[in-house]
Amino acid sequence: MSLETSLREIARKLLEEGQVDVIIGYEKGSLPLQTTPCFIDDADDVDRLVWNESCGNNLAKYLVDRKDKAGVVAKGCDARSIVMLVVEKQVERDKVVIIGVPCSGIIDRRKIVETLEGREMLEATIKGDKVVVNVEGSEEVFAKEQFLCESCQTCEHRNAPIYDVFVGEKAKETKSMGETSLSELEKMTASERWSFFKRELGKCIRCYACREVCPLCYCEECFVDQTMPSWLGKTDDESEVMFYHVTRALHLAGRCVDCGACSRACPMGINLRNLNRRVEKRVKELYNYEAGLSFEETPPLATFKLNDPQEFIK
């Protein structure tokens, strides 16, 4: 039985038995290598559900403020986001059924589109570790591994660490291949890093897609929208863009699960993960905490130890 079939069977069972009111999953999108989130509340509709390497969206986003009981199709990163939402009391644990799916990485559609240099992708199928793309009539084959999202290339939690049902066999966990872009940045001097971020974040148009798509950005009023006090202006100049991204990184410290949703959503193609990755790396080194792995552990900024590191304090 294919993964998709067993996913549909599980979804049907959950709906028929009334264990959930709605299944939040993925259905076929309108473009090749694209899926779209779908909400299924009728057991007869479960055949719409799909599961493949283009199911990128982090569906945890749809759980906040839900009144009904939802079953969510969850990759490793999605499940960790759900755990964080439960820890932060945004979602009740008994209002969500985590349907774990084995994930071997999501294909970054944009990377393929870029490679095609303007030629249109008409159809795409994934065969093992190859992506077979029909480009304007002719067939082209890409190695899946090279076209994965960056967050998937460094992923160390492919399967949901906590789940209620799991579809099929768990995916093989891999060690991160090492983060080239992050380690390069870490080697730079402060001035070099400043020029890097100035250039990279200089592309930002402050559309807030990264915030909208982030499962952990659920504040009713974001600091950028506040007017009393007005923390920062609405322009896209260097200073305010930097203010926005620095503060966003700050607010996500010890909470980000590196699902890569922000980078995927960014219309300007900014690699937004660098900053969050660095923070999470330091949080792990300093406070030995990784977000989204347990319901019991207190998030690092909500607690303290008397002997926390403080070399930088005079």
Partner 1 sequence: METTVSPSTEVNKEDNWEPKIIAFLCNWCSYAGADLAGVSRIQYPPNVRIVRVPCSGRINPMFIVKCLERGVDGVLVSGCHPGECHYISGNLFARRKFTILKEILEFVGIEPGRVQFSWVSASEGEKFARVVRDVVEEVKALGPIERMVKAAPI
> CA-to-CA distance for 234 and 226, rounded, in angstroms?
11
Q: Under rule CB under 8 A, how many of the chain's residues touch partner 1?
A: 45
The single residue among 9, 269, 286, 294 that binds partner 1, judged by CB under 8 A, is 286
Q: How far is the CB of 60 from partner 1 (least distance, A)?
A: 23
Q: Which is nearer to partner 1, 125 or 230 (CB)?
A: 230
Q: How far is the CB of 214 from partner 1 (least distance, A)?
A: 17
Which residues between 96 and 155 bind partner 1 (CB under 8 A)? none
Q: Is 222 in the site for partner 1 (CB under 8 A)?
A: no
> CA-to-CA distance for 126 and 294, rounded, in angstroms?
33
Q: How far is the CB of 231 from partner 1 (least distance, A)?
A: 6
Q: Is 197 in the site for partner 1 (CB under 8 A)?
A: yes
Q: Which is nearer to partner 1, 42 or 308 (CB)?
A: 308
| 230 SS3 class | coil
Q: Burial, 306: exposed, middle or buried (Cβ in 10 Å; 0-12, 13-18, 19+)?
A: exposed
List, in sequence order, the alpha helices (H) in 44-138: 76-87, 109-116
Q: Is 64 in the site for partner 1 (CB under 8 A)?
A: no
Query: Which of these ranges, 100-108, 166-174, 210-218, 250-258, lies near partner 1 under the rule CB under 8 A?
Result: 250-258
Q: Which is nearer to partner 1, 141 or 313 (CB)?
A: 313
Q: How far is the CB of 223 from partner 1 (least distance, A)?
A: 7
The single residue among 243, 271, 293, 297 that binds partner 1, judged by CB under 8 A, is 243
Strands 96-100 and 49-50: unpaired
Q: Please report, to the nearest 10 degrees, the dihedral formed by the alpha carbons of residues 192, 195, 196, 198 taken in order.
A: 150
Dmax of the chain from CA atoms? 67
Q: Is 88 in the site for partner 1 (CB under 8 A)?
A: no
> CA-to-CA distance for 96 and 118, rounded, in angstroms?
42
Question: Directed axis angle between helix 190-201 and helix 238-252, to 10°?
Answer: 100
> CA-to-CA distance for 155 and 201, rounded, in angstroms?
24
Q: Is 250 in the site for partner 1 (CB under 8 A)?
A: yes
Closest CA to 111 of 139, 141, 149: 149
> CA-to-CA distance for 288 and 62, rounded, in angstroms?
29
The single residue among 254, 270, 272, 273 that binds partner 1, judged by CB under 8 A, is 254
Q: Is 275 in the site for partner 1 (CB under 8 A)?
A: yes
The single residue among 114, 156, 225, 237 that binds partner 1, judged by CB under 8 A, is 237
Q: How far is the CB of 163 from partner 1 (least distance, A)?
A: 30
The single residue among 279, 284, 293, 297 that binds partner 1, judged by CB under 8 A, is 279
Task: Return the bridge partners of 23, or none.
Answer: 40, 71
Closest CA to 157 of 249, 251, 76: 76
Q: Is 300 in the site for partner 1 (CB under 8 A)?
A: yes
Closest CA to 298 of 93, 157, 87, 89: 87
Q: Please report, to the nearest 10 degrees, the dihedral formed by the alpha carbons of residues 222, 223, 227, 233 taken in order.
A: -120
Query: Which of these ranges, 7-15, 27-35, 83-91, 297-305, lies near partner 1 under the rule CB under 8 A?
Result: 297-305
Binding site for partner 1 (CB under 8 A): 185, 190-197, 223, 229, 231-233, 237, 239-240, 242-243, 245-247, 249-250, 253-254, 275, 278-279, 282-283, 286-287, 300-301, 303-306, 308-310, 312-314
